[in-house]
Amino acid sequence: MRFLLAAFFTVCFLNFSFAQSTIEKTLRKFNNNSVKYIYLNELKETENPILLDTRKKEEYNVSHLKDAFWVGHKNFELDSVLKYYPNKNADIVVYCSIGVRSENIGEKLLDAGYTNVKNLYGGIFEWINQGNVVYNNENNETEKVHAFSKHWGKLLTNGDKIYTSKSKELEKQRN
C-alpha cells in the first residue's frame, strides 16, 4: 500500500513539474484562445499599438514594454481604459508574464466592444527570452524582470529574475 501511495505521489509530482516546462504547454493548459494571439514579429510590425500591461503593479514597476499602460488584473477597471483609449477600433495588445492573465483582460475588452484586441503570445517572458528590451519605472532600459514566482520563473530563460514577497512590499511601504 505504501508503495502504491509513493508511486501515485511521484507520478503526480512529475506531472506537475513537467506541466509548465514550456510557455507553449502552459498556455495550452491555462488558456482557451478566446483572445487572438499576436506574436513578437507581428507586434514589431504593428504601427503604434496600445500596450496594456495586466500584471501586478510591482511587476510593472520592475520592467515593462516601452510605452505600456498599466491596467492590472485583479484591480482592472474598464473605465480607465475607456477614458484613455476611447477608440474601440484601435490596435490593443494585452500582455502579462506569459499570456494567461492578459487573456482574461482581453476578454473583458472584447466584451466591452473593443474590436482589435490581441494577447501577446508568451508575454513579457517571451519578449525577454528573445532578447528584446524592457524598461523600468523610470523608463530606463533594464535587464530585470519580475518573474512572479519561482515556479513561473522557470519559464523565463533570459534577464535578471526578481521576486517580490509580500513582506518585502509591506516593509517598503512602511519606510
Residue 89 lies in a domain: yes
pLDDT exceeds cutoff 80 at 4: no
Residue 7 lies in a domain: no
Please answer whether residues 15 and 96 qualify as being in contact, where contact means their C-beta atoms are separated by less than 8 angstroms: no
| DSSP-assigned letter for residue 76 | -
Residue 113 lies in a domain: yes
Residue 110 lies in a domain: yes
Residue 104 lies in a domain: yes
Q: What are phi and psi of 23, to 5 degrees?
A: -60, -45
pLDDT digits (tens, 9 = 90+) for 6-38: 444 444 444 444 334 699 999 999 999 999 999
Cite the beta strand spans of 76-140 per DSSP E: 92-95, 117-120, 134-135
Q: How far apart are CA 82 and CA 147, in angstroms?
A: 29
Residue 102 lies in a domain: yes
Q: How confident is the model at residue 156 (pLDDT cuts 50, 70, 90)?
A: very high
pLDDT exceeds cutoff 70 at 123: yes
Domain span holding position 111 = 25-160
Q: Return the pLDDT at 149.
A: 87
Domain count, the chain: 1
Q: Return the pLDDT at 164.
A: 77
Residue 41 lies in a domain: yes
What does the pLDDT average to over 119-134?
Answer: 97
Q: Which amino acid is at 6?
A: A
* pTM for the predicted model, two decimal places: 0.81
Contacts of 55 (CB under 8 A, 6+ apart): 70, 72, 73, 96, 97, 101, 124, 146, 148
pLDDT digits (tens, 9 = 90+) for 39-97: 999 999 999 999 999 999 999 999 999 999 999 999 999 999 999 999 999 999 999 99
Residue 153 lies in a domain: yes
Q: Return the pLDDT at 45.
A: 95
Q: How far apart are CA 156 and CA 102, in angstroms?
A: 17
What is the CATH number for 141?
Answer: 3.40.250.10
